[in-house]
């Protein structure tokens, strides 16, 4: 079950994705985009299901056939103004383009671009420009004959623990876990 928080209360719980409530402003901007599109094209568009639980580096994702929009709550909190102005329009434009033209168009092709420019009066930029803060990951330091240890990802380290072996490309010696880790 989702705990409902007011947007003001939700600030500061960036790691508790499950308690992130749908911000009212975000919902309203999505709706405003749909109303503008309906006015422009003089037809109805089915409203999407909206989720705020997208994780990782993307600000938003449009699931066209499921008519579902997923937004990234952490990035929303960090870039609210730009998010509402640009990301919401970007993703809604995908949905509108899909309902108008179906699956035969390119995602960021001329149809999508013209909806961005002519309907939403926004630049038709493909990528969001938010500074992405990476969550540091644990790397496992492996030693060979070289001076510098070689960092292994957790996945690769697990493979070694299950019996896989790796040789250093430079010195051709076997890479052995040093017992040390590094956050990077
Ligand atoms: Zn896109
Ligand atoms: Zn080596």
- What residue spans define the domains of the chain? 7-119, 138-183
> What is the Cα–Cα distance from 126 to 108, expressed in whole angstroms?
7
Dihedral class, residue 59 (left if φ above 0, else alpha if ψ from -120 to 50, else beta): alpha
91 is catalytic: yes
Q: Residue 125: what pLDDT?
A: 83
For residue 3, is pLDDT > 60?
Answer: no
Longest dimension (CA), the chain: 70
Superfamily of domain 7-119: Metalloproteases ("zincins"), catalytic domain (3.30.2010.10)
pLDDT tens per residue, range 122-155 = 999 876 545 444 467 889 999 999 998 999 999 9
**Ligand 2 center to 30 CA (angstroms):** 53
> What is the Cα–Cα distance from 12 to 20, expressed in whole angstroms?
10
For residue 47, is pLDDT > 80?
Answer: yes
> Percent of the chain at pLDDT above 70?
84
Which residues have C-beta within 8 Å of that of residue 143, sequence separation ≥ 6? Answer: 149, 150, 175, 176, 177, 178
Beta bridge partners of 51: 70
Which residues have C-beta within 8 Å of that of residue 89, sequence separation ≥ 6? Answer: 33, 116, 120, 122
Asked whether the beta carbons of 13 and 7 are under 8 A apart, the reply is: no
Strands, E, within the chain: which ranges? Answer: 49-51, 60-63, 68-71, 138-143, 150-152, 176-183
**Ligand 2 center to 38 CA (angstroms):** 62
**Ligand 1 center to 115 CA (angstroms):** 12
Could you say which of 66, 91, 118, 148 is catalytic? Answer: 91
């Amino acid at each position: 079950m989702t705990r409902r928080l007011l947007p003001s209360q939700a600030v500061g719980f960036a790691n508790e994705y499950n308690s992130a409530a749908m911000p009212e402003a975000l919902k309203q901007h999505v709706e405003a985009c749909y109303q503008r599109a309906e006015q422009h094209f003089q037809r109805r568009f089915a409203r999407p299901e909206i989720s705020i639980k997208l994780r990782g580096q993307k600000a938003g994702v449009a699931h066209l056939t499921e008519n579902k929009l997923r937004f990234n709550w952490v990035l929303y909190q960090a870039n609210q103004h730009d998010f509402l102005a640009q990301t919401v329009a970007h993703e809604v434009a995908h949905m509108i383009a899909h309902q108008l033209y179906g699956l035969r168009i390119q995602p960021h092709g001329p149809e999508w671009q013209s909806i961005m420019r002519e309907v939403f009066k926004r630049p038709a930029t493909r990528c969001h420009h938010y500074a992405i803060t990476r969550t540091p990951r644990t790397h496992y330091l492996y030693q060979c004959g070289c001076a510098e240890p070689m960092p292994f990802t957790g996945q690769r380290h697990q493979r070694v623990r299950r019996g896989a072996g790796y040789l250093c490309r430079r010195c051709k010696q076997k890479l052995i876990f040093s017992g040390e880790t590094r956050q990077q």
